[in-house]
Amino acid sequence: MQRVCFLLKVKADRLAEYTQRHQAVWPDMLAALSRHGWHNYSLFLRDDGLLVGYLETPDFARAVAGMQSEEVNARWQTAMAPFFETLDSGAADTSLLTLTEVFHLD
């Protein structure tokens, strides 16, 4: 199982709404994430907008590609894009800055 950690930056003036939106993630989006191997998926948000994401998956590239095939993901990414500072690709899920794991206590 791959452990993946990534960073994004939420606009400071959108933190409360970003948090609120994640209290009610669409059921079809949740189902798509599970279907494509996004397990133990968590998001953590710092007061300055730094967003840290964590997930476990058998194959991260395949998990991302699987979500790209989902219509619900396209709708979610379009709805969420205005919350983020600079997105390299225009969408959060393809602009993730992934971190290298240097230690894991198993």
71: which 2 tokens? 């219509």
Which of 22, 36, 39, 104 is flagged as catalytic?
22
Task: Give 99's DSSP letter.
Answer: P
User: CA-to-CA distance for 44 and 99, rounded, in angstroms?
Assistant: 15
**Helix (DSSP H) and strand (DSSP E) numbers for the chain:** 4, 4
Backbone φ and ψ of 105, nearest 5°? -90, 110
Q: How far is CA 49 from CA 8, 27, 58, 86, in A?
A: 8, 25, 29, 12
Q: Is 36 a catalytic residue?
A: no
Indicate which residues carry an active-site annotation: 22
